[in-house]
Each structure stands twice: as structure tokens, then as C-alpha cells.
Copies of this chain bind each other. A is one copy, B any other.
């Protein structure tokens, strides 16, 4: 990059050394603690004992692959909308997710499946790890373009721990239901990122304003992300619900909710748009709010009508958020939310949690029959009333907001450590800070020459 000053060795080495350290530490911890579970260990699994048809792997694996596609393709490309930050958006998505899924295997393993000194891993660990990576990528969306990769890895290091603890408190201690993660994934990820972005507030960000938009092609790339999130969301919400009717119903509700949020988004985007025109930012994001808003309740007896109503509400709220609330968030609350995660994950996540409160309150033995056992086990066993379950759900939302806020604040302080490499205000949303991009974007960069030049200059 012609004319830009070289970074000091200590800054240049931050990313490689942090990667090496984190991967080294993770590998050692895996060596000590992680073992195959009885479904993946050759000596523990016996074909004779249970037929393949009873092997849970086969009921979960297709959904896992959809979740995996959603996390990497979906989140990765959704953030490519920025005109000069595509390499970073996709690249750091890879880096963060790859680290988060190893690290959360350890964290969640210690909390959930630590047994006789070992963590046992299989299908569910993979899905849970991908869920955690999703939360980290949501937070990434709030600070996109304003943080370096070493900072992001430190963010993930902290966030994965808090994600695991929050989820453990909700699901195991409070008996909260949240199969698709309205609270544990979306609300947590969004407010963690927003508070962190608040702490990292840059008053001089105006200097990079000219790069903070999209170009025609970058918007089309982002739509790849949107579509992947949209089509695979039914699998995301149902990946870990009860096998059978539970999983089936979850997918169905999510499917309807997304359809309704899409029409709601188009209606509101055209309504508030200049001369009735649609805004690509709304379509890229708000059509997905239907998936977020049923994250808690899609396994419940929401009814197809309920799914449509919830999705429609989420799509409209999210679109209005992009139009009217994002500017306020920045001007009044000093929160610079690059991807608008408050509109896509924050508000719809909170709405989804409240919808879960309502559905828990309405749960009856009549409505659920034998299925009550798998959706609300504590009510089925008579240990809790529906009202009590509803209060626990509501309390779970507050706990999540608390963990996310405190965590985001801690994360912000951590990322402000002065020796950490962070892009200057005038170089935000710019790939060239982190990537070898020869000259301008339309340059005919030549690989072999690039190598030779590097050799010559070295």
C-alpha cells in the first residue's frame, strides 16, 4: 500500500502469534480433555445394540450441515455489502468461526458434558459449537470494519465463555426453553456486540464515511448471504429440538414466519422509501427477522397463524429500525452498528423471547398432549405451572441482557488495550489495512509478480 507507514513488528506479529497461541492452547486442552462420545468411539458404539435407524446422528446431521452452511455462507456473505471490506468480512468470519467452534467445544463441554475428567464430543457438540459461532458473528456485525483481526479473536475468546455460561444458566439452571436461540444466540450476540461497539465509540468515524456504503455488486454478494440464512433457518431453529413432531413443527413454524416477515419487509421498505422505492439494506436483513423472532417459540404450539403474525411483526419492526432507529442509535446513544444487528438480531430477539413467555404461559396439557414432556418437561412433570415457566422465560431474557451488557463492556475494555492493533479512524471499512490488495480494487493484481515484489522489497 503505497505511502502508508509500515506497522511496527509488535503490531505485525499480533495476529500470527495470537493465532498460534490460541490454536496451540486449544490443541493441548483437546489432548487432555476431549474424547469421542459413545456414538463416535469405535469401541463404545456397537452396531448390534442399536440399528442405524435409531442412531441420532442420522436425524441431526442434515440439519447440522444446513446450520454449518448458514453460519459460514450466510453470515460470511451477508456482511460483504461494504464496498471495500469484502475480504475482511468473509475472511474474518472464517477466522472467528473456526476459533469459536474449537473454543466453545471446550467451554460448553466443561459446562455440559464433563464426565470422569473428560469432555465427550459428537453430533450435538458440533451443532452447539456452530450456534456459539453464530452468536460471535452477530457481535462481529456490530463492530464490522472498526476492529482488527487480533481484537476480534480476543472478543471471541471472551464472548464464547460468556455465551456458554449464559446458556448454561438459562437452559440448565433456570429451565428456560430456547431451542432456536432468540435469547441465547440473537439477543446475547446482538447486545454483546452493541455494548462493545459503544465502548469502542469513534467520534471521528466520519473520516471513513465514504467507504461505509455498498456498491451494486457488493449488494448482490450480500444477497447470497441473505438467501442462505433464509432457506436454512428452519434447520437452524430445529437442529436441537426433540426428534419427531418437535423438529417437524419447528421447521414448519420457522418457514411460515420467514415468509410473512418477507412481505412485511417489502411493505414497510416501500412505504418509508423515497418515492416508494425499496431499500436493499432492508431486504438483505429484515426478511430474516422472521427466523429470529420464532427462535424460542417455534418448537411450541405457536400455530401456523401465530408464526405468520410473529414473522410479519418482526419484519416490520426490523425495517422500521433500519430506517429510523439506527441513526438515533448512533447520534444519541453513540452506538455505531455497522450491520444493523440491533434491527435484525436485537429487537427481533427480544420480541422472540417475549413470544416465548407468552407461549409458555399458554401451555396446557390439552394443547401439547404427550408432547408436553419434550417441550416443557418441568410443566409435564408437575414441577412448574405454566405461569411459573413463563416467569422463568422472562427472567432468562433479563439474565441474557445482563450477561450480554456486562460481557460487551468487558470486551470493549479488553479491545481498547492500547497495544492492540486497530485501524485508524480514516482507515475503517478498508481491506487494505489487513490484506494484500494491490493498488485500487480494479487493479489487475498479478499473483506471481506480487510474490516477486515481496521478495525484492524484503
Contacts and interface: CB of A to CB of B under 8 A. Distances in A.
Contacts of A76: 223, 227
Interface in A401-458: 434-437, 441-454, 457-458
A370 to B, nearest CB: 6
Interface in A146-203: 149
A27 B261 CA distance: 12
A113 to B, nearest CB: 13
A58 interface: yes
A395 interface: no
4 closest Cβ pairs, A-B complex: A42-B371, A43-B369, A12-B276, A53-B53
A114 interface: no
Nearest to A245: B45
A412 to B, nearest CB: 22
Number of copies: 3
A45 B280 contact: no
Q: Number of contact residues on A: which range applies?
A: 35 or more
A136 interface: no
13 contacts: A11-B276, A12-B276, A13-B276, A23-B308, A91-B283, A94-B227, A102-B260, A121-B252, A210-B446, A212-B446, A213-B446, A214-B447, A278-B435
Given A247-B57, A436-B280, A304 B212 contact: no
B30 A304 contact: yes
Contact of A42 (B31, B121, B279, B367): B367
A47 interface: yes
Contacts of A454: 273-274
Contacts of A243: 47, 52, 55
B369 A16 contact: no
A449 to B, nearest CB: 7
A391 interface: no
Nearest to A280: B87
Contact of A263 (B95, B210, B267): B95
Nearest to A70: B231
A131 interface: no
A41 B259 CA distance: 21
A362 interface: no
B445 A214 contact: yes
Contact of A444 (B1, B122, B213, B308): B213
Given A280-B87, A436-B279, A263 B220 contact: no
A398 interface: no
A320 interface: no
A320 to B, nearest CB: 13
Given A57-B244, A323-B451, 15 more contacts: A6-B275, A15-B270, A36-B249, A41-B371, A42-B301, A47-B370, A57-B248, A65-B232, A65-B235, A69-B232, A91-B280, A98-B260, A211-B444, A274-B457, A327-B451
